[in-house]
Amino acid sequence: MRHFLRLSFRLSGFFAALAVLVPPQLVLMHVPRWRFILPQLFFRLMLALLSVRVSVTGPLPESGKKNGTLLVANHVSWFDVALIGAIMPVSFMAKSEVKKWPLFGQLAWLNNALFITRRIGRHTLQEGRALAARLARGDMVVLFAEGTSSDGMRVLPFKSSFLSVLEDNRAFSVQAMSLAYTRRHDMALGRRQRMAYGWFGDMTLMPHFLYIFAGAPLTVEVLFHEALPRDSRQNRKAMARALQAQVSEGLQAIMRARPHPVAVPDGEHS
């Protein structure tokens, strides 16, 4: 009964926030200086409603710069978007299928998502140009470089397709971040509990959505790493390996309760 009441209260608050914030966002999403204000407010309200605490470590990218930053992260769950979006004003790269998801597709569009089409591991030149245009106007864009979500216990190899944008324009910054679901009721999550927060394999969205909304107070840790030096970005595959190594090592550090920003691995500067 307690779980049902908690879920009902949280869902009511969630949809009430949508009802209040969506109409003005339909206008503000077209105003460059204000397009991220309401999404970030919505994500923060959502985390407060669900009793989720986000612990942030490491150097955050600077917002408001002339040239933007590509943030490259591991991907555990659909909920990662709310966690990262509550920290700072960002847009996300999302697979085109998300457009068709009830509610989530509309919310992604309102949050200025950059939708991409997957076709045998390759992406169109037009989509790469769209990403470059976002970065050129100073946006911070989040790329889940594994190409899929995982169980949260490991980091899958990073795909390098969109990193070619950084080869062509070194004015843009690229920075890795590690994300881990770590504590519930302020007690460390075990392996099985941690995997329960992952949305992967053949899991369906709605049961996982309700699991998150009915869950106990949760702590998630986000660790920002050093940005890749601009002179080390001649090769997108080398960039992918360097970023994946940072994120993987950072995830292991979080799980050992010793989070620290990870420098660019030796040997990835050439």
Domain spans, the chain: 2-255
User: What distance, in Å, lies between the first and last C-alpha atoms of the chain?
Assistant: 59
Percent pLDDT > 90 in the chain is 57
Residue 53: count of CB within 10 angstroms of its CB: 14
Convert 133-179 into a string of H (helix), E (strand) and C (coil). HHHHCCCEEEEECCCCCCCCCCCCCCCCHHHHHHHHCCCCEEEEEEE
pLDDT at 58 over 90: yes
Domain 2-255 - what CATH class? alpha beta
Pairing mode, if any, of strands 173-184 and 187-188? antiparallel
pLDDT band at 270 (very low <50, low <70, confident <90, very high): very low
Phi then psi dihedrals of residue 34, to 5 deg: -120, 0
Helix (H) or strand (E) holding 56: strand 52-57
- Average the pLDDT over each of 93-107, 170-184, 193-207 and give the range with the smallest value: 193-207
Helix 37-49 and helix 2-28, axial crossing angle in degrees, nearest 10: 180
Average of per-residue pLDDT across 12-31: 96
In the chain, count of helices (H) and strands (E)?
9, 8
Model confidence pLDDT, tens digit, residues 138-164: 999 999 998 888 777 889 999 888 888
Model confidence pLDDT, tens digit, residues 77-116: 999 999 999 999 999 998 888 888 888 899 999 999 999 8
